[in-house]
Structure 1
Amino acid sequence: MILGIDLGTSMVKAALFSAEGDCLSVASRRSSPRALGGGRIEQDFEEIVTAVGAVVAEACAGHPAPQAIGITGQSDGLWLLDEEARGVRPAVSWLDDRGNPYLQGWIDSGAFAGVFRRNANAIFPGSHAPLMAALRDGDPDALARAHTASYLKDGILQRLTGARVTDASDASLPFLDIRRRDYDDEILALLGLEEYRRLLSPVMPAPGQAFALNAAGAALTGLPEGIPVHAGPFDLPACAMGAGVRAVGDGLIVIGTTLACEVLTDRIDTTADPVGMTLCMPQDGLWLRAMPATVGTATLDWILEMIGATHAEVDGLLAQSRAGANGANALPFFSATGERAPFVDVRARGQLSGLSTATTRADLVMAVCESVAYAARHCIEAAGLSGRVSVCGGGSNSATWSQMVADVLQRPLHVARRPEVGARGAAIAAMDVAGIAYDPAVWTQSEAVIEPRRETAAAYASGFDRYLDTVASARALWNRAPARPQRNAHAPRPQQPVRATS
């Protein structure tokens, strides 16, 4: 038995796997990111700790204790913990946009590009650096009290084992020298964050380390002490491992809350446009070139709420429209943080166009789903896809949407073995570190292969070209300086407001 724990943004899950990779049980609990207004989103670390204990106990009930435990989960955000791995304040979610102005400042100053030229990673608003900068101005006492600027899975590892470490995949962005797998002091200096070097956990050497479940971890989970526990890689590389991405050039599309497109590579390119991530894999000399767009099922959620429909209706609605959505078009950039792949623009915003009184609810859903499929092609090609491509994530549960992605790509689409692809990848990583023998081909065999349809090829080739043209036009509008209103020269000047004095 191998246990995989996946700490998602809105769900905590534990999946128990047999030696052959069969998923024997899954348990889940919702976690609750809290929207505080003004783009601020935070999470309660202790709520997640409690959920981990509950899902592990439920998933393992009635089974022998697992031989190893692997942990993966959401990356980024800022989880400030004390020496006992307890939160010194609510965690700032990776969805939070208070880092936007700091990122824009680094883009304008050249620091953003300077970081990319060192480690091939493009900072985005929800990552450690902008959030540290935001708290330095907004809550400096929390940074002063913190012992660790942690990632979620690393905080859970510390609560289960006492080990204060991180893995190279999480640390890759923003501060790591991804060749040496250690922090780059020059990056910290470029961003003006040298004083927070003390908060960064030591990075585990490749391929990682396992730590024994301690008494506190045993009390939380109900499992016996001593079980080896491994945290890392985070969810993007873990899903790639769980989906069987093993050959250089192979890729994965994760249609989740966000759209993550990634390709396995054996080279680092710091000369490209500063966009996307280059994430260390557990093995030295391998990286994932990732384009994690902020579009995804969250975009579909938005349109469904707007038209009063449910997820159960999606395939039926798509069947009522046709390729091209009867002229309706969408740009899927509805996240308040803008877009981070395959371009970076904190001002990116979504749009619907081509609408008329003949446009139906089904056409709107079709247009939005097509826009996410176009974004997937845009991202996976930018990541360097040259081999096999797989798909996973909640959106892949829609057979119609998955077929659409295959049609837009005009490539066979391998459906990753379900359920819990991320937890499966975490279990594989734990077995590698713990020295447990297994058959990678069996653990990651595809459930199905979706062949692209020739009859939609022309429509989607034309639609993709239109999508790229619309993105280019929209970017020019997003970033155009607003015109100043003309003032009548003879009109009285407005009075200046009186400043309050203390």
Structure 2
Amino acid sequence: MILGIDLGTSMVKAVIFSDEGRCLAVASRRSSPQALGGGRIEQDFEEIVTAVSDVVREVCGAPGHVPDAIGITGQSDGLWLLDENGRGVRPAVSWLDDRGNPYLQGWIDSGAFEAVFRRNANAIFPGSHAPLMAALRDGDPDALTRAHTASYLKDGILQRLTGARVTDASDASLPFLDIARRDYDPEILDILGLSEMRRLLAPVMPAPGRSFALNAEGAALTGLPEGVPVHAGPFDLVACPMGAGLREVGDGLIIIGTTLACEVLTDHVDTRGAPVGMTLCMPQDGRWVRSMPATVGTATLDWVLDLVGASHTDVEGLLAQSPPGANGVTALPFFSATGERAPFVDVRARGQLAGLSTATSRADLVRAVCESVAYAARHCIEAAGLTGRVLVCGGGSNSQTWSQMVADVLQRPLHIAPRPEVGARGAAIAAMDAVGLAYDADLWTRAESIIEPNRDAAQHYEDGFAVYLDTVEAARGLWNR
């Protein structure tokens, strides 16, 4: 058996898979990002350590449930400052935190933002290491002085379980990595004025990564015997394509999660064009995912559901009550306080609802927002270079109506990735690769079903997408006046 651990932004999960990829058990605990006001969002690292202990003990508590390997994935970015023993020196700054906004805007204005993209095909965003390091250098310099590692969450958990201080090339891809050599680029650190932060960066594991033995502390935390191999990496934006079965160059994945991540597998690094999106190292050399991780995913739906006094269980019914086009209501889904990062970068991006009247229903508002996210998915996946088939996963894909809407907007079949827990599945696959365990990749990643696009809806959504693009361009001019 293989254990996959997924450290999400709001949920920590552990999943036991059989050697054929069947899900045998799942356990989860909520984590609690704390909104401190003023756009500041932080997390308690020890709370997540405890959650990992709880979920692993739950799924591995049955006799014989000792995994052959453990794979860890989860949220990336944010700033998890740890001491030499893997303890937090301060609460972690979440990737949702916006205190890096003015620093990113300064780099955009000075040309540093574009200069970094021209070196590694990655567009910095406010919740990544560089802006947050700059913000803490001004706001909490003592924490940086006391820290031994500017870690990522899953790497911090690996250190607590095994003592290893390393990171994966997928996490490190943005912002400081030379993604062809898979090592840090001192020129990028210099461009951003952060050369002194080099001491905080953990060594990058070479492809395809390696495992580390569960130590005494890890055994005490998990209830598992010492020596079980543990592998941390890649993070969720790369683990999900692996778990979904993205293997052919040009194939794409849409993750309808907190982030709307639209990704395409590529065999080259392209630093031309507009400086936007991410180019993330896959575990094998010579492969990357070109990722457009928009901030407009299920968090946008959560916002409108809260606005109209509804819950997730109401979504299918509300979508059925409003026709395609939402009775003339349109939306831009950019409601994140950090603005937008794909398929364009603008820290001032803001959402809008238009076409409202006294006849507008709450169902119209929900449908308009869901349609806008579907349009954003097409905008992003096309910008990422899609040429092949399209897979979909994430919590939003559990809505049949919403998934059908995405297929209709794309006018492409949607292959539903194997459920549950695509990210944990990818972590398990990466762990098997690192340890050298044989498995049937087709069996592990076989699509659950395929949603065919409704050809009768093609022209309606083609027109709607054109209006969406025009509205985005008009709004960008307003945001920056």
The TM-score, its normalising length taken from structure 2, stands at: 0.99
Distance in 1 (CA, whole Å) between partners of 2:291 and 2:98 is 21
Distance in 1 (CA, whole Å) between partners of 2:18 and 2:60 is 12
Distance in 2 (CA, whole Å) between partners of 1:36 and 1:179 is 39
Distance in 1 (CA, whole Å) between partners of 2:365 and 2:456 is 22
Paired residue for 2:79? 78
1:57 is the counterpart of 2:57: yes
Distance in 2 (CA, whole Å) between partners of 1:64 and 1:325 is 50
Once the two structures are superposed, the pairs formed by residues 178-327 of structure 1 within 5 Å of their partners are 178-327=179-328
Paired residue for 1:15? 15
String of CA shifts for 1:247-287, please: whole Å, max 9, x gaps: 00011000001100000000111112100000000000000
Once the two structures are superposed, the pairs formed by residues 87-236 of structure 1 within 5 Å of their partners are 87-236=88-237
Distance in 2 (CA, whole Å) between partners of 1:307 and 1:44 is 31
What SS class does the counterpart of residue 461 from structure 2 fall into? helix
Paired residue for 1:365? 366
String of CA shifts for 1:400-450, please: whole Å, max 9, x gaps: 000000000000000000000000000000000101010000000000000
Q: Residue 454 of structure 1: CA displacement? A: 1.0
Q: Residue 68 of structure 1: CA displacement? A: 0.2
What SS class does the counterpart of residue 272 from structure 1 fall into? coil
Paired residue for 1:6? 6
Paired residue for 2:329? 328
Paired residue for 1:496? none
What SS class does the counterpart of residue 90 from structure 2 fall into? coil
Q: Residue 371 of structure 1: CA displacement? A: 0.1
User: In structure 1, what residue type is equivalent to 2:440?
Assistant: D
Q: Residue 355 of structure 1: CA displacement? A: 1.0
Distance in 1 (CA, whole Å) between partners of 2:398 and 2:459 is 25
Larger Rg: 1
User: In structure 1, what residue type is equivalent to 2:189?
Assistant: L
Paired residue for 1:492? none
Paired residue for 1:419? 420
Q: Residue 356 of structure 1: CA displacement? A: 1.2
Q: Residue 73 of structure 1: CA displacement? A: 0.2
Aligned-residue RMSD, C-alpha: 0.5
Distance in 1 (CA, whole Å) between partners of 2:318 and 2:43 is 34
User: In structure 2, what residue type is equivalent to 1:181?
Assistant: R
Distance in 1 (CA, whole Å) between partners of 2:76 and 2:161 is 19
What SS class does the counterpart of residue 165 from structure 1 fall into? coil
User: In structure 1, what residue type is equivalent to 2:182?
Assistant: R
Distance in 2 (CA, whole Å) between partners of 1:254 and 1:84 is 34
Paired residue for 2:31? 31
Distance in 2 (CA, whole Å) between partners of 1:378 and 1:61 is 45
Q: Residue 360 of structure 1: CA displacement? A: 1.0
Q: Residue 188 of structure 1: CA displacement? A: 0.2
Paired residue for 1:400? 401
User: In structure 2, what residue type is equivalent to 1:310?
Assistant: S
Paired residue for 1:494? none
User: In structure 1, what residue type is equivalent to 2:158?
Assistant: L
Paired residue for 1:466? 467
Distance in 1 (CA, whole Å) between partners of 2:39 and 2:2 is 39
Q: Residue 64 of structure 1: CA displacement? A: 2.6
Q: Residue 41 of structure 1: CA displacement? A: 0.2
Q: Residue 164 of structure 1: CA displacement? A: 0.2
Distance in 1 (CA, whole Å) between partners of 2:61 and 2:148 is 35
What SS class does the counterpart of residue 161 from structure 2 fall into? helix
What SS class does the counterpart of residue 137 from structure 1 fall into? helix
Distance in 2 (CA, whole Å) between partners of 1:458 and 1:172 is 39
- Structure 1: gaps of 5 or more residues: 481-502
Distance in 2 (CA, whole Å) between partners of 1:328 and 1:194 is 49
Paired residue for 1:356? 357
User: In structure 2, what residue type is equivalent to 1:60?
Assistant: C
1:338 is the counterpart of 2:339: yes
Distance in 1 (CA, whole Å) between partners of 2:293 and 2:259 is 7
String of CA shifts for 1:29-84, please: whole Å, max 9, x gaps: 01000000000000000000011011001011214300000000000000000000
Q: Residue 18 of structure 1: CA displacement? A: 0.1
String of CA shifts for 1:164-186, please: whole Å, max 9, x gaps: 00000000000000000000000
String of CA shifts for 1:370-404, please: whole Å, max 9, x gaps: 00000000000000000011000000010000000
Distance in 2 (CA, whole Å) between partners of 1:364 and 1:95 is 25
Q: Residue 236 of structure 1: CA displacement? A: 0.6
Q: Residue 455 of structure 1: CA displacement? A: 1.4
Identity of aligned residues (%): 82
Distance in 1 (CA, whole Å) between partners of 2:394 and 2:141 is 37
For these two proteins, the number of residue pairs brought into alignment is 480
String of CA shifts for 1:208-253, please: whole Å, max 9, x gaps: 0100000100000000110110000000100000000000001100
Distance in 1 (CA, whole Å) between partners of 2:190 and 2:355 is 47
String of CA shifts for 1:327-372, please: whole Å, max 9, x gaps: 0000000000000000000000000001111211111110000000
Distance in 1 (CA, whole Å) between partners of 2:233 and 2:452 is 33
Distance in 1 (CA, whole Å) between partners of 2:199 and 2:75 is 23
Paired residue for 1:495? none
Paired residue for 1:45? 45
Distance in 2 (CA, whole Å) between partners of 1:473 and 1:49 is 45
Distance in 1 (CA, whole Å) between partners of 2:282 and 2:2 is 21
What SS class does the counterpart of residue 70 from structure 1 fall into? strand
Q: Residue 479 of structure 1: CA displacement? A: 0.6
